[in-house]
Amino acid sequence: MVKSITNEVLVSVETSFQKGGNDIYDEEFIFAYRITIENLSESTIKLLRRHWYIVDSTEHREVEGEGVIGQQPVLEPGESHQYISACNLHSDMGKMYGIYLFERLTDGYRFDVTIPEFQLIVPFKNN
């Protein structure tokens, strides 16, 4: 698990390999990741947007959009939000990292929160 704290928001990431097609020699590799976002501040905050950087040995992609998996969670002080998503790579190793855009609801102040870099590596590469 990797973690980072930015602007009093803790982001934790856990990953797991989900395979690709029928065997390990297929050209697509699927990884799931579980993100936990915890509000460590004393203000209520809302996640507005995400900006992902996805890198493997064949390409570099960027993905931007509103919220996460169709939601824009609001977190009271001390609350957390967790979601699971997935990413496909065209090679057996890669990484992801990014930024969330949050808004503090009391005054509309917007701020970035770092999504820590995490590795996406098929299990047979770790042997």
Please report which confidence band the pLDDT of residue 28 belongs to, taking 50, 70 and 90 as the band edges. Answer: confident
How many Cβ atoms are within 10 Å of 22's Cβ, its own excluded? 7
* 46-97 pLDDT per residue, tens: 999 999 999 998 899 999 999 999 999 999 999 999 999 999 999 889 999 9
Give CA separation, 20 vs 25, 31, 32, 50, in Å: 9, 9, 11, 25
Task: Give the domain ranges of the chain.
Answer: 2-126
**How far is residue 39's CA from residue 7's CA, in Å, rounded to a whole number?**
9
Parallel, antiparallel, or unpaired: how do β-strands 110-121 and 60-66 relate? unpaired
Asked if 97 and 90 touch (Cβ cutoff 8 Å), the reply is no
How many Cβ atoms are within 10 Å of 123's Cβ, its own excluded? 10
CATH code of the region 2-126:
2.60.40.1470
pTM recorded for the entire structure:
0.91
Residue with tokens 């990797």: 2
| pLDDT of the residue at 1 | 93
